[in-house]
Chains A and B, each alone.
Chain A
Amino acid sequence: MFKVSDLRFRYPKNQVDTIKGISFEFDKGEIFGFLGPSGMGKSTTQKLMIRILKNYQGEILYKGKNLNSYDKSIYNDIGVGFEMPVLFSKLTAMENLKFYRDLYPEGVKIRPLLERLGLWEDRHKRVAAFSKGMKSRLNFARAMINDPKVLFLDEPTSGLDPTNARIVKDMISEFRHNGGTVFLTTHMMHDVDELCDRVAFIADGQIREISSPKDLKVRYGKREIRLEYNDDGVASKQVFDLNSIKSNEEFFGILRTKDIITIHSGETTLDEIFIKVTGVKTHE
């Protein structure tokens, strides 16, 4: 769907490149997570891919054609959900969506979209009166209004309670299952783990790692099993090598004879991988 090759970009007033020759691609029907600390080139890459920033070096292909060869009609294919809600605050939710839908040759029905996001009852309220979470959901509806083929989402669950975050994540998954492609930028590693087929970590304008969350967790984790068990009234811990586990009699002996308190594999979390790969903690 998108293929980025040796992409370089420098802001006009900067001395150094913000994007330093990155390459990646993602296919139709894939949710591609693009992760990295703030100010390391994540948003810049997205802005280049949605053609807001120009004058880059390297190549961005969309459906096999150079991105620059497309006219404005490319935005009929693209839905963009910005991190900060960008809506007309004096207009109602309905007026906002109708206005934007009318700017496209085709669009979705507003009612099912708002009903799904729990905003139908508030459709005639002005956006200024919306809570942060409601604005965030409306922002997501705005991104979906043109029935896009590719979604660029920046922190789509930011400011949402767990129930609404679940709805949005389910909608993203359904969008993918219906053939849509998603470029997801977020700091919520749990969302990434749940949604993304593959992820790329960017730091200092360079891609440090690309793979599936599962593969990363295995690769960056330890091949071990940690057992915590009750050893005659005393809590004991023991670590076993996962590679030789099938022939480890001691391990199976403990399982058979002791009361197990916890069992953990050495698989790591995306949070830990984020810190390790980018060198920055996720809350930054």
Chain B
Amino acid sequence: MNELFKLVKGDQSRLLRYGITYASIATSLVWIAFIQILRLDAISTYFPLFIFVDVTMMSFLLIGVAMMFEKQENALKTMLVTPINKHHYLASKIITTVVASLSSLLLLGVYGILFKGLSINYLGITGAVILASFVFSCIGVLFTYKSKDFTILLMWVMVMFFGFAIPTIFQMFGIITADWFNYLQYMNPTQAVYTVLSAAVMTVDQGELLISLGYLLLLSIILYYYVVKCFDRYSMQEFGGE
């Protein structure tokens, strides 16, 4: 645990140095400015949307950018010849991203509660953010290992945004209502994230909530399994092993 704590501390300080933490805070502030400009009073309906973008796309982007910097500096090479455990190394990256998502939640939540009278299930939203951020951090790691540079990583972010986040936003605003689309959305992890986040601020169908929770938990396990496999392959490649 001590080793994991040291790794998380190191990752946090590097996120600060790379300016990634500031970018994350700035995104939350943009949302707050957005709420102010649009003079949204009852933000309960929109709150899951604000958090949704942060825990999905921002988690993906945050971990991606952080790991891409590390990739460019060949830092993994040195990490591999230290006594640290690979699960600790990967967990540290994911925990750092989850903490960033929780910080955004804190910022937006405190603003919502103090200035907009937001009523929220604290435990529920915290759990939902941790789970969702974990899933999208894993997706971020997988796509970072697939990306040769920042350009390709950003391309994957766009693919994720238009392929997964936008359909959920369309469904949220009732832009697409076809049954086939709703069924298809059960496969979309961002839809599952939106459902679990919504459950913390409004009433949602219990069946849908359970399906979404189960889906995200299952995804967490499967994705983490592949993250470890990808890490092993990538480590070999770093040393010219493949």
Contact = CB atoms under 8 A, between A and B. Distances in A.
* Residue in B69, B73, B81, B240 whose Cβ sees the most chain A Cβ within 10 Å: B81
Interface of A: 11-13, 43-44, 47, 50, 52-53, 72-76, 78, 80, 82, 84, 86-91, 95, 99-100, 102-105, 142, 146
A89 B69 CA distance: 10
A76 B85 CA distance: 13
A74 to B, nearest CB: 8
A75 B18 contact: no
Given A84-B74, A142-B78, 19 more contacts: A12-B242, A47-B239, A50-B81, A52-B239, A53-B236, A53-B241, A72-B85, A74-B83, A86-B73, A86-B74, A86-B78, A88-B17, A90-B14, A90-B69, A91-B14, A103-B82, A103-B83, A104-B83, A146-B82
* Residue in B69, B82, B236 whose Cβ sees the most chain A Cβ within 10 Å: B82
A100 B78 CA distance: 9
Interface string B1-31: 0010011001001100110000000000000
Contact of A95 (B13, B73, B74): B13
Contacts of B239: 47, 52-53
A102 B6 contact: yes
Interface residues of B, number: 26
A53 B233 CA distance: 11
Contact of B14 (A50, A80, A88, A104): A88
A105 B82 CA distance: 11
Contacts, number: 75
Given A53-B236, A103-B82, A103-B84, A11 B74 contact: no
Nearest 9 CB-CB pairs, A to B?
Answer: A90-B17, A80-B81, A86-B74, A75-B83, A86-B78, A72-B83, A103-B82, A52-B239, A86-B77
Contacts of B6: 99, 102-103
Contacts of A87: 73, 75, 78
A52 B74 contact: no
B217 to A, nearest CB: 29
B235 interface: yes
B3 A103 contact: yes
A95 to B, nearest CB: 7
